[in-house]
């Protein structure tokens, strides 16, 4: 269904929403973005997303041409103008139009674009029966080259991993870091359950500190579940009792096979199910 797209303070019909072909966001992936979810017309953890957007922009020396309050208002207006209750919002900021060269000093007018649409990332059967994923050969960006905590418009690292996973028949794929440790999936964070404890890679593994990831960690601690952010190997994944992924679009989705190896009994586990239900209640509260 066509939507109304926000660009620099105005709304445009989807077919009329345009930015310059000389924008460095298009030419070089020079910009940042956030993906947000709304439930009942309310954005989930809006302030946390704005924090991360501003941190990403600061990390690449990009000045966002509006205040945080103005950005939050524009996001809410995008939901209202598109009559979206439960949906997905993509807010992005580009470096602006410039020359055919890398120099960011030769750009002007950073572009703020907000797109709000309904979304269903995975069919219901994946939440009921679980995903099968594979470990791909594409290594997660080295944090000293491009820190994965920056949500930049250049997602080629993730896209190449996604392509490898799709060619193997999997809609999601697990990425390792430069040390061969478990990092994250192409668009989601990963959790394991082992001996009733919840395990997940720490940010030192070179991962994006997901908003949904943090919410699930909080919910697990409230439920009295031991949570450990630590170094994980593929061996830890293969021998886990349960496995699940978290993400803004995916929410909480169970994984029942990794690299053709059955996880636990091959069915979504009880702790996964409990945390999925707790997250749904939190998001809609």
Known catalytic residues are 151
- Cα–Cα dist 132/166, whole Å: 11
Nearest to 199 by CA among 188, 185, 189, 212: 189
Asked if 182 and 190 count as a contact pair (C-beta separation under 8 A), the reply is: yes
Distances (CA, A) of 7 to 4, 32, 42, 66: 10, 15, 21, 12
Write out the two tokens for 202: 């720490």
Beta bridge partners of 117: 88
DSSP 257: E
- Cα–Cα dist 179/176, whole Å: 8
CA 216 to chain centre: 14
């Amino acid at each position: 269904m066509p939507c109304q797209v926000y660009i620099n303070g105005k709304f445009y019909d989807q077919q009329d929403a345009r930015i310059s072909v000389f924008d460095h966001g298009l030419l070089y992936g020079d910009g940042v973005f956030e993906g947000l979810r709304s439930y009942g017309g309310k954005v989930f953890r809006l302030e946390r997303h704005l924090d991360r957007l501003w941190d990403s922009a600061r990390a690449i020396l990009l000045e966002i041409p509006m205040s945080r309050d103005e950005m939050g208002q524009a996001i809410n207006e995008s939901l209202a103008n598109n009559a979206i209750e439960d949906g997905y919002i993509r807010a992005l900021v580009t470096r602006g139009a410039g020359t055919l060269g890398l120099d960011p000093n030769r750009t002007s007018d950073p572009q703020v674009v907000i797109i709000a649409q309904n979304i269903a990332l995975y069919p219901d059967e994946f939440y009921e029966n679980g995903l099968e994923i594979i470990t791909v050969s594409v290594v997660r960006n080295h944090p000293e080259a491009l820190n994965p905590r920056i949500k930049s418009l250049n997602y080629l690292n993730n896209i190449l991993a996604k392509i490898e996973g799709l060619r193997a028949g999997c809609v999601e794929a697990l990425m390792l870091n430069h040390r061969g440790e478990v990092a994250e999936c192409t668009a989601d964070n990963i959790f394991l359950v082992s001996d009733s404890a919840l395990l997940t890679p720490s940010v030192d593994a070179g991962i994006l500190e997901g908003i949904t990831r943090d919410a699930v960690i909080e919910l697990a601690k409230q439920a009295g579940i031991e949570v450990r952010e630590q170094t994980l190997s593929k061996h830890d994944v293969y021998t886990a009792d349960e496995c699940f992924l978290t993400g803004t679009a995916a929410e909480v989705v169970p994984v029942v096979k990794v690299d053709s190896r059955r996880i636990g009994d091959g069915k979504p586990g009880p702790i996964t199910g409990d945390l999925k239900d707790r997250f749904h209640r939190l998001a809609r509260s």
